[in-house]
Amino acid sequence: MPTHCPECESELVRLEGEVALRCINPKCPAQIREGLIHFVSRTAMNIDGLGEKVISQLFSKKLIKDVADLYKLTEEQLLGLERMGEKSVTNLLLAIEASKANSLEKLLFGLGIRHVGAKAAKTLAQQFECMERLALASTDELLAINEIGEKMAESIVAYFEKEEAQQLVAELSGAGVNMDYKGAKRVSAEESDSFFAGKTVVLTGKLEVLSRNDAKEKIEVLGGNVAGSVSKKTDLVIAGSDAGSKLAKAQELGIEIWNEERLIEELNK
């Protein structure tokens, strides 16, 4: 087991609840590089053409030191990299430009705030609607949201309290990166008069018309909650074709079961 980071030689620490040792030096080149790779990944900002090799080159040539620097890259700089022709440079610059228009959750996930996965990022974006409001949220406000636990709430507050984080967000905003949620707005259960308001729904099996994500989003927008597993708290199970153990469990617990057609009918009311 190494005791020090091979890249920056800081002492490695074991964070609470984790097995692996980690380098927690925020200036560690390995950390920053990993952060960049995460930032451009598909679920995050989805910048095509920025693979690990390109990032490593940009990094070692000191063309980027953080994610905001991606938005300052020029054609000339990119053409100077190994195996980057004019066509790939043009496409990469377009992909970087296009990423500025992403909805808030992609940026939020991309920032790599500890404990904030893609799903939580979506919930936060829907709830706060813009980066500024989220950055000012208190632990209590965050904890009032169903899916946000203590660890995550604390991590979010700690992140936005850091001056470096505030600077980074300001820089991204200054570069024209969108800071607003652009998806469907979530209605709270109290505000919604939909059948789904306040209900916990589980999707299982293969849906023919709606994608799983589509269905989930539509139910959530109407004030429902979509959960991953069937329990006594489940109000409704939507069963597509080849539904397996979740359907069986729902039957065992006597939970209401719908097919996709019935779901679409209710969604369209």
CB of 163 vs Zn ion, minimal distance in Å = 21
- Structure tokens given for 99: 């990423």
Tell me which residues in 20-79 interact with Zn ion (CB under 5 A). Answer: 23, 25, 28
The size of the interface with Zn ion (CB under 5 A), counted in residues, is 6
Eight-class DSSP state of 181: -
Strands 13-14 and 200-204, how do they pair? unpaired
- In the bound state with Zn ion, the residue whose beta carbon lies nearer, of 25 and 127, is 25
CB of 160 vs Zn ion, minimal distance in Å = 24
232, 253 contact by CB (below 8 A): yes
Q: Return all residues near 115 (Cβ < 8 A) that are at least 6 apart.
A: 151, 152, 155
CB of 146 vs Zn ion, minimal distance in Å = 36
- In the bound state with Zn ion, the residue whose beta carbon lies nearer, of 12 and 95, is 12
CB of 30 vs Zn ion, minimal distance in Å = 5
Which of 1, 8, 51, 268 lies at the binding interface for Zn ion (CB under 5 A)?
8
- In the bound state with Zn ion, the residue whose beta carbon lies nearer, of 25 and 200, is 25
- In the bound state with Zn ion, the residue whose beta carbon lies nearer, of 2 and 228, is 2
Tell me which residues in 134-163 interact with Zn ion (CB under 5 A). Answer: none
Q: How far apart are the first and last CA of the chain?
A: 59
Amino acid at 254: G
Residue 5 touching Zn ion (CB under 5 A): yes
Amino acid at 44: A
Window of 15-23, 93-101, 170-178, 194-202 that interacts with Zn ion by CB under 5 A:
15-23
Window of 2-10, 96-104, 124-132, 195-203 that interacts with Zn ion by CB under 5 A:
2-10
In order, the DSSP letters of 113-159 are: -TT--HHHHHHHHHHH-BHHHHHT--HHHHHTSTT--HHHHHHHHHH
CB of 102 vs Zn ion, minimal distance in Å = 29
For helices 52-60 and 29-40, angle between their N-to-C axes, nearest 10 degrees? 140
CB of 6 vs Zn ion, minimal distance in Å = 8
- Structure tokens given for 236: 């409704």
Residues that bind Zn ion (CB under 5 A): 5, 7-8, 23, 25, 28
